[in-house]
Amino acid sequence: MNNTKQKLLEIYRLLFQQYGPQRWWPGDSPFEVMVGAILTQSAAWQNVEKAITNLKTAGAMSPSAVRDLSTCDLAQLIRPCGYYHAKALKLKALVRWLSESCGDNLGQAFVMDTSLLRQQLLAVYGIGPETADSILLYAANKPVFVIDSYTRRISARLGLIPKEDSYNAYQAFFENNLPQNVTLFNEYHALLVRLGKDVCRKQPVCERCCLREICRLHQL
Please write the tens of the pLDDT for every residue from 82-117: 999 999 999 999 999 999 999 999 999 999 999 999
Q: What is the pLDDT of residues 176-210, one digit of tens each?
A: 999 999 999 999 999 999 999 999 999 999 999 99
What is the rounded CA–CA span in Å between residue 185 and residue 137?
Answer: 8
Q: Cα angle at 18 between 12 and 23, to 5 degrees?
A: 75
Check: pTM over 0.75? Answer yes or no: yes
Q: What is the pLDDT of residues 17-38, one digit of tens each?
A: 999 999 998 889 999 999 999 9
What is the rounded CA–CA span in Å between residue 168 and residue 162?
Answer: 10
18 and 113, same structural domain? no
Where a domain ends, among 108, 139, 170? Answer: 139
What is the rounded CA–CA span in Å between residue 80 and residue 40?
Answer: 11
97 and 46, same structural domain? yes
Q: Return the sign of the alpha-carbon dihedral for residues 80, 126, 147, 166.
A: negative
96 and 151, same structural domain? no
Number of domains in the chain: 2
- CA neighbours within 13 Å on the CB side: how many for 216? 10
Tell me the residue range of the domain where 54 lies. 30-139
What is the rounded CA–CA span in Å between residue 25 and residue 36?
Answer: 9
